[in-house]
């Protein structure tokens, strides 16, 4: 079931990433709304007003960013975040954190793709690094085993799995360099950073679920659990990737900032 779901969903994600524009923004917006809704369920803040407000604000933000109104999207996001804090009562810190998590995923994913030259390559690089980290970690962890990475938070993860995922991510970077899509040394360094950040994102999500005694964020994706379960590493990695690209080439050229050195 896990493999079948991946076979269906991965090509769809790649196709929409290739299309870019409003199609990619639409997918990212839907996913971000789903992330926020799942976060609220995990932390036990399931008030309809919270979910509804977050849904509306994230939808408007996605529309604004897709059509070039980034400043307006940020302003609306700040106002929406403040409203969520007011509505959340005793869960205000957790609700605000979930909204920030979803909004960051939305903005970074859309902005990284908006680079007209290297946006798709950058997005695929991040996706493949995250996927390679997951797959390499799974097989190395199962095949080698050994000491646990952080048993209190994620009992199944091992140091062997972490190193296996890290090594697999470097193969992706080497492949991009061999294909003429970037210089080897910078891509290897970026891949190493993104792989580590991806695994930290996975552990962060596991820690949140452990804090609230939840196994899966939902059962939306057969064999994978929920969106948070499947995208925890990607959210952390795409945010870090956009920050790197932004620091080098600016807000709307983050793709080239990540890939061109």
Average pLDDT over residues 24-48: 95
What's CA 64's distance to the chain center, in Å? 20
User: Hunting for tokens 């950040």 — which residue is that?
Assistant: 197
Q: What is the tens place of the pLDDT at every residue in 219-242? A: 777 666 789 988 999 999 999 999
Q: Where are the domains of the chain?
A: 1-114, 116-261
Long-range (24+ apart) CB contacts under 8 A made by 217-220 are 217/38, 217/39, 217/41, 217/42, 218/38, 218/41, 220/34, 220/38
Q: Are 233 and 198 in contact (CB under 8 A)?
A: yes
36 in Cβ contact with 58 (< 8 Å)? yes
Return the structure tokens found at 164: 């296996």
Nearest to 200 by CA among 259, 242, 153: 153
- Position 234 scores a pLDDT of 96
For residue 220, what pLDDT is reported?
79
pTM of the model: 0.93
By C-alpha distance, which of 50, 47, 153 is closest to 97? 50
Q: Which tokens go with 250?
A: 């600016």
Which pLDDT score, from 0 to 100, does residue 160 have?
A: 94
Give, in order, the Cα–Cα distances in Å from 134 to each of 63, 127, 153, 161, 166: 31, 11, 17, 9, 9
**d(Cα 29, Cα 249) in Å, to the nearest integer?**
25
Considering only CA atoms, which of 183, 151, 150, 144 is closest in space to residue 167? 144
pLDDT, mean over the chain: 93
- Which residues, in sequence order, are bridge partners of residue 154? 150
Is the confidence at residue 65, as pLDDT, over 70?
yes
Task: Please check the confidence at residue 243 and state whether its pLDDT lies above 80.
Answer: yes
Average pLDDT over every residue of 155-170 = 93
> Is residue 150's pLDDT more than 90?
no
Kindly state the helix (H) or strand (E) to which residue 10 belongs, with its residue range. helix 2-19
C-alpha–C-alpha distance, residues 109 and 112, integer Å: 5
Both ends of the chain: CA-CA distance in Å? 40
Q: Tokens at residue 188, please? A: 């290897």
Average pLDDT estimate for 153-169: 92
In angstroms, rounded to a whole number, what is the distance separating the alpha carbons of residues 238 and 53? 25
From the number of C-beta atoms within 10 Å of its C-beta (0-12, 13-18, 19+), residue 150 rates as middle
């Amino acid at each position: 079931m896990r493999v079948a779901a991946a076979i269906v969903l991965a090509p769809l994600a790649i196709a929409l990433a290739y299309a870019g524009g409003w199609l990619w923004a639409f997918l990212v917006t839907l996913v971000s709304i789903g992330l926020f809704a799942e976060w609220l369920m995990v932390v036990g803040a399931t008030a309809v007003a919270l979910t509804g407000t977050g849904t509306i604000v994230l939808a408007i933000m996605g529309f604004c960013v897709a059509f070039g109104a980034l400043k307006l999207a940020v302003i609306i996001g700040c106002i929406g975040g403040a409203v969520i804090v007011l509505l959340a009562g005793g869960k205000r810190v957790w609700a605000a954190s979930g909204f920030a998590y979803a909004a960051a995923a939305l903005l970074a994913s859309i902005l990284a793709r908006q680079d007209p030259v290297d946006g798709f390559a950058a997005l695929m690089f991040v996706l493949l690094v995250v996927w390679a980290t997951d797959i390499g970690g799974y097989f190395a962890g199962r095949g080698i085993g050994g000491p646990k990475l952080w048993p209190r938070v994620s009992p199944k993860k091992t140091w062997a799995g972490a190193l296996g995922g890290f090594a697999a991510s470097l193969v992706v970077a080497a492949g991009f360099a061999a294909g003429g899509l970037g210089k080897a040394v910078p891509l290897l360094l970026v891949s190493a950073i993104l792989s580590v950040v991806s695994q930290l994102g996975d552990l962060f999500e596991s820690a949140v679920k452990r804090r609230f005694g939840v196994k899966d964020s939902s059962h939306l994706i057969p064999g994978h659990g929920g969106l948070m379960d499947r995208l925890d590493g990607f959210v952390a990695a795409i945010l870090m990737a956009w920050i790197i690209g932004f620091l080098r080439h600016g807000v709307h050229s983050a793709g080239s900032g990540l890939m061109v050195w």
